[in-house]
């Protein structure tokens, strides 16, 4: 599968639709839910699993806010590099669904 950027927090916190009073981390909330689900279902890349084993366990144990992990370890960007083959297939299906594509086009 080719390299792909699925989502970026800044696409949301820099959006004109994001309320000014919300902190930037709020722009990552929905992505963090997605990443958490990937972590809990073993869809992360081998590199992330090796480099971030402690943090992934903390996420599973609900000791680490996945938004913090997303910014600290993924630079606020969800790409195909962070996912294994099954994770890439899931992300492609999710992010390329008609509903998701319509929502993303509003942010551009």
pLDDT tens digit string along 9-38?
Answer: 777 666 777 667 777 777 788 899 999 999
Residue 28, CB half-sphere, CA atoms under 13 Å: how many?
22
The H or E element containing residue 34 is helix 29-40
| Distance separating the N- and C-terminal Cα atoms of the chain | 24
What pLDDT was estimated at residue 19?
A: 67
In terms of pTM, does the model score above 0.75?
yes
Mean pLDDT on 80-101:
84
45 and 87 Cβ atoms separated by less than 8 Å: yes
> Of 46, 87, 33, which is closest to residue 79 (Cα–Cα)?
87
């Amino acid at each position: 599968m080719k390299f792909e950027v699925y989502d970026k927090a800044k696409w949301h916190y820099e959006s004109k639709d994001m309320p000014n009073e919300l902190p930037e981390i709020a722009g990552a909330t929905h992505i963090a839910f997605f990443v958490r689900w990937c972590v809990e279902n073993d869809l992360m890349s081998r590199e992330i699993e090796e480099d971030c084993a402690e943090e992934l366990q903390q996420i599973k144990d609900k000791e680490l806010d996945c938004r913090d992990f997303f910014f600290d370890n993924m630079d606020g960007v969800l790409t195909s590099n962070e996912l294994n083959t099954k994770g890439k297939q899931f992300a492609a299906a999710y992010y390329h669904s008609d509903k998701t594509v319509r929502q993303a086009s509003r942010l551009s």
